[in-house]
């Protein structure tokens, strides 16, 4: 268990005060934008001395109170809105209230406790992700304030969900931007000694919560997995960048004749094979370890054909400087995958890149299909599931997009 902590919180009057510059967009913040950038805040010596993760009162340039923010002078996002009530008390009860709201939504959406419980800003906990795997929850604190409040978050999480184990995952890309380390650990209870079975869309996934990618499983693709499962009856399926078998196992649950999972990680493929075995479909499931671009090229040389091909790569354009290179990579994936799709088959292409919006990603994908000499008809556009809600004022929360085409 975590060490005892004080559930008391500093009164708003005792918090430091930070102030917007006259040219800062105070209206956007009042209308729901959750971030203050470093060039929008007065950063005098006092502000620069504030410890990362400290809560402070935000004022506009006329000294009008705007709410409570978490400050990190080391980050380009120097302040994150925590509560628009400047008198709010950020104590154990406050965290429990936020978590109860998040839990109430998931209870309406799902009949089993396997989902993303907290999706950062959209659930009122900026820079914090919490995925739930039954009695175990995995927290990814991607902002300094989330890191400094881990003990109280862990206590609130156990109180609200009844979780017996809480883990910390430190693999988030933005942690380095916040000046945070990459040290994971156990916050409460005992870490699972083996992968956790996660039932989803009729499939069984094996999630490694301590040694796997991210928090152990990608819940965001759940509705897109279901869409593919609905197309899979009798189909030959190719799942590229499969991780633990996301699309391939869902397709087998939907009646696919066969599924081939391709990933660079043998450990992930081993977990996918364990999932197929737990489902009783091992006779229809195969894996192939290797670089996706090389495997796609090799499969074409072998004359392989599939009725459904899905490519779900990592973020090729995680930030704007990588956008052009990322779009070229998405185009290349589409160009290599399209020839493997049988006539009138389905090609699904996915992007989790924050910097590439849907229009840019779709254009790159269609261009790649065309360069392969194939013609596409767009039949479906997919996004993350409702346990990954979007904050309308923050485009980054709508990062996942998928296009499904008949080829």
Q: What is the tens place of the pLDDT at every residue in 291-307?
A: 999 999 999 999 999 99
Residue 230 domain flag: yes
Domain match, 294 and 400 both: yes
Residue of 10 and 74 predicted with greater confidence: 74
> Starting from the edge strand earliest in sequence, which strands make up the sheet with 114-119, in order?
114-119, 128-133, 136-141, 165-168, 185-188
Nearest CA-CA partner of 403 in 210, 367, 85: 367
Round to whole Å and give the CA distance between 32 and 394: 9
206 and 175 both lie in a single domain: no
- Pair 127, 226 in one domain: no
The rounded distance, in Å, linking the Cα atoms of 385 and 25 is 31
> So what's the pLDDT on residue 362?
97
pLDDT at 378 over 70: yes
pLDDT at 4 (0 to 100)? 43
| CATH code where residue 61 lies | 2.30.130.10
DSSP 3-state of 363: helix
CB neighbour class for 46 (10 Å; exposed up to 12, middle 13-18, buried from 19): exposed
CA dist 43 and 73 (Å) reads: 8
- Whether residues 102 and 75 share a domain: the answer is no
Q: At residue 38, does pLDDT exceed 70?
A: yes
Looking at the fold, whether 79 and 97 belong to one and the same domain comes out as: no
- Domain end (from 49, 83, 117): 83
Give the 3-state secondary structure percentages of the chain, helix then strand then coil, rounded to 5: 35, 25, 35
252 with 332, same domain? yes
In this structure, the answer to whether residues 147 and 130 fall within a common structural domain is yes
pLDDT of 185 higher than 70: yes
**pLDDT greater than 50 at residue 2:** no
Mean pLDDT of 233-239: 98
Are residues 228 and 310 both part of a single domain?
Answer: yes
Statement: residue 1 has pLDDT above 80 = no
Number of domains within the chain: 3
Residue 406 CB coordination number (10 Å): 15
CATH of the domain at 179: 3.30.750.80
pLDDT digits (tens, 9 = 90+) for 131-166: 999 999 999 999 999 999 999 999 999 999 999 999
311, 350, 352, 405: which one is catalytic? 352
Which has the closest alpha carbon to 242: 175, 196, 302, 311? 311
Residue 3 confidence (pLDDT): 40
- Cα distance between residue 67 and residue 339, in whole Å: 55
What is residue 159's predicted lDDT score, i.e. its pLDDT?
Answer: 98
pLDDT at 6: 52
Query: What is the predicted pLDDT for the residue at 213?
Result: 76
Position of tokens 């090389």? 294
Cα separation, 247 vs 201, in Å, equals 10
**Cβ density class 240-275: b for 16+ within 10 Å, e for less:** bbbbbbbbbbbbbbbbbebbbbbbebeebbbbbbbb
Q: How far apart are CA 340 and CA 163, in angstroms?
A: 45
pLDDT at 320: 86
pLDDT at 126: 96
Q: Specify the pLDDT at position 8.
A: 58
- Is 165 known to be catalytic? no
The whole-number pLDDT of residue 174 equals 86
Sheet holding 236-240, edge to edge: 285-289, 258-263, 236-240, 306-311, 341-351, 401-406, 377-383
Which of 253, 270, 145 lies closest to 207 in space, CA to CA?
A: 270
Range of the domain at 17: 12-83
Q: What confidence tier does 105 reach under pLDDT thresholds 50, 70, 90? A: very high
Q: How far is CA 395 from CA 9, 215, 237, 353, 392, in A?
A: 32, 23, 32, 12, 7
CATH label of the domain that carries residue 284: 3.40.50.150
Q: Are residues 100 and 131 in the same domain?
A: yes
**Mean of per-residue pLDDT scores for the chain:** 95
How far from each other are the two terminal CA atoms of the chain, in whole angstroms?
54
Q: What percent of the chain shows pLDDT beyond 90? A: 90
**What CA–CA distance (Å, rounded) separates 34 from 126?**
8
Q: Are residues 331 and 265 in the same domain?
A: yes
- Look up residue 189 and give its DSSP letter: S
- Is residue 258 included in any domain, yes or no? yes
């Amino acid at each position: 268990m975590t060490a005892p902590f004080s559930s008391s919180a500093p009164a708003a009057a005792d918090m430091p005060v930070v102030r917007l510059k006259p040219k800062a967009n105070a209206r956007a913040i009042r209308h729901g934008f959750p971030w203050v950038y470093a060039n929008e805040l007065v950063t005098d010596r006092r502000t620069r001395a504030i410890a990362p993760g400290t809560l402070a009162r935000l004022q506009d340039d006329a000294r009008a109170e705007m709410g409570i923010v978490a400050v990190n002078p080391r980050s380009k996002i120097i302040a994150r809105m925590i509560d628009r009530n400047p008198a709010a008390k950020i104590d154990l009860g406050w965290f429990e209230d936020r978590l109860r709201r998040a839990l109430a939504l998931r209870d309406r959406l799902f009949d089993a406790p396997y989902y993303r419980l907290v999706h950062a800003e959209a659930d009122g906990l900026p820079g914090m992700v919490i995925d739930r795997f039954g009695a175990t929850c995995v927290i990814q604190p991607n902002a300094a304030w989330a890191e400094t409040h881990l003990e109280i978050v862990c206590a609130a999480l156990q109180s609200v969900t009844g979780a017996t184990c809480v883990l910390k995952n430190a693999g988030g890309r933005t942690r380095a931007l916040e000046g945070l380390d990459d040290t994971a650990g156990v916050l409460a209870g005992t870490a699972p000694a083996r992968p956790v079975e996660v039932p989803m869309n009729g499939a069984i996934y094996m999630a490694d919560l301590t040694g796997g990618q991210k928090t152990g499983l990608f819940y965001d693709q759940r509705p897109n997995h279901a869409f593919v499962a609905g197309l899979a009856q009798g189909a030959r399926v190719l799942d590229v960048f499969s991780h633990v078998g996301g699309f391939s196992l869902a397709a087998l649950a939907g009646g696919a004749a066969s599924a081939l999972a391709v990933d660079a990680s043998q450990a992930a493929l081993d977990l996918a094979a364990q999932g197929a075995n737990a489902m009783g479909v091992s006779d229809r499931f195969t894996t192939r370890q290797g670089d996706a671009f090389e495997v796609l090229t090799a499969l074409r040389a072998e004359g392989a054909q599939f009725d459904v091909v899905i490519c779900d790569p990592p973020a090729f354009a995680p930030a704007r400087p990588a956008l052009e290179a990322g779009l070229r990579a998405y185009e290349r994936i589409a160009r290599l995958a399209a020839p493997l799709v049988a006539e009138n088959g389905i090609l699904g292409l996915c992007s989790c890149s924050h910097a590439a919006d849907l229009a840019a990603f779709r254009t790159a994908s269609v261009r790649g299909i065309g360069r392969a000499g194939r013609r596409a008809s767009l039949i479906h556009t997919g996004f993350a599931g409702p346990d990954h809600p979007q904050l309308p004022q923050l485009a980054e929360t709508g990062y996942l997009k998928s296009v499904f085409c008949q080829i």
